[in-house]
Amino acid sequence: MNVLGIETSCDETSAAVVDDQGRVLSNVVYSQIAKHQPYGGVVPEIACRSHVELIPSIMGQAVEQSGVGWDGVGAVAATRGPGLVSSLLIGLTAAKALALRLGKPLVGVNHLEAHLYSIFLAPGSPKPEEICPFLMLLVSGGHTCLLGVDALGSYRMLGQTLDDAAGEALDKGSKLLNLGYPGGPAIEKASLGGDPSFFRFPRGLQNSRSSVDADGLDRRFCFSFSGLKTALLYYVRQNPDAAKGENLKHVAASYQEAVFDTLLAPVENALKDRRYRILGCAGGVARNNRLREKLDRLTARFQTRLLLAAPDFCTDNAAMVAAVAAVYGLQHAGDPMTVDVQPNLPLC
């Protein structure tokens, strides 16, 4: 059965159609970046108004490009959390209306589970059952966590960030360096040709010993970016020329390197345990070429297979939402009128 998926958890308005195997037939993504850029970050009110204006035509384009026609849509799926409540509501409400109109089931999808599934979207990717159990690093603008994936729907949280998400650390760093929004791609661009060892910013929790805290998570598998961000703030204050001229590329590369080393240390700790032979990585930050290179090197050292989401499926898109619903969410399809948004929806 073909599934039409809708994603509006933040500032991308997206709709996609996948077939019953989760193969992507269309994936239309409208990025609102230009609308939020003047404000240096996502403005929820602008995001949800923009979703309202765009969603009907984005859904129409997704169905048209898929070639299946409205009659060929067997179910509707939409992200129901986590995300911005006002943005989630637009996509889920559109999905509800459509499901009722078509008389088809509705699946509410967890955004993090959709990101996780994005490593299986590109043609030629393995199927989840072929590679489970595996280790998964999720790195987006709102979340950073390390998971053990035993099967689809069966996840163990090994570690997560104690403060900012990796994407947030890049977005905030970019602001301090006057590079604009969104910070991840801006810092990646500014870092080109820069020396990542120019200045050594602190790497959070890098030497953590095994200790399980009240939240039940082992600190060896957790992340922290707050000290790093503060270090950049002081660096910029003490070196007013840091964000200018030749120096900028070196400072940007050094900061980016510290963010990625902070991300990699818990992954390395988990790989040392030799429990997992496969590492997956997805989410907006996984689009970064330097991070992809570093993960490649790390996994080669541990003879571990690396499965990266294809660049176009790293940032928010509806293909990953539709695919999760198609391959395993349909069994959880609910009455369209009772599915609701949950802005803090946990994954496990």
Q: Which residue, 197 or 289, is less far from ligand KG4 as judged by CB?
A: 289
Q: Which residue has the tokens 């080393």?
A: 261
> How many CB atoms are closer than 10 A to CB 27?
24
Q: Does 168 bind Zn ion (CB under 5 A)?
A: no
Residue 252 phi, psi dihedral angles, 5° rounding: -60, -45
91 binds ligand KG4 (CB under 6 A): no
Q: Which of 148, 173, 185, 204 binds ligand KG4 (CB under 6 A)?
A: 185
Kindly determine how many residues on this chain lie close enough to bind ligand KG4 according to the rule CB under 6 A.
Answer: 19
Stretch that binds Zn ion, among 137-145, 160-168, 210-218, 226-234 (CB under 5 A): 137-145
What's 26's DSSP letter?
A: E
Among 3, 4, 6, 10, binds ligand KG4 (CB under 6 A): 10
Shorter beta-carbon distance to Zn ion: residue 19 or 316: 316
Residue entry with tokens 């019953």: 20
CA-to-CA dists, residue 207 to 152, 210, 228, angstroms: 32, 10, 15
> CA angle, 201 as apex, 199 and 204 as ends, to 5°?
160
Complex with Zn ion: residue 9 or 256, whichever CB lies closer: 9
Q: Give the CA radius of gyration of the chain.
A: 20
2 vs 32 by CB, closer to ligand KG4? 32
- 257 neighbors 194 (Cβ within 8 angstroms): no
Least distance to Zn ion, CB of residue 47, Å: 13
> According to the binding rule CB under 6 A, does residue 144 interact with ligand KG4?
no
Q: Which stretch binds Zn ion (CB under 5 A): 262-270, 274-282, 316-324, 330-338?
A: 316-324
Collapsing DSSP states into helix, strand and coil, what is residue 79?
strand
Query: What kind and span of H or E run contains 155?
Result: strand 154-160
Asked whether position 161 contacts ligand KG4 by CB under 6 A, the answer is no
Q: Kindly tell me which residue out of 11, 12, 19, 316 binds Zn ion, with binding defined by CB under 5 A.
A: 316
Give phi and psi for 125, each to the nearest 5: -70, 155
User: Which residues of this chain interact with ligand KG4, rule CB under 6 A?
Assistant: 10, 140-142, 167, 170-171, 182-185, 188, 283-285, 287-288, 315-316
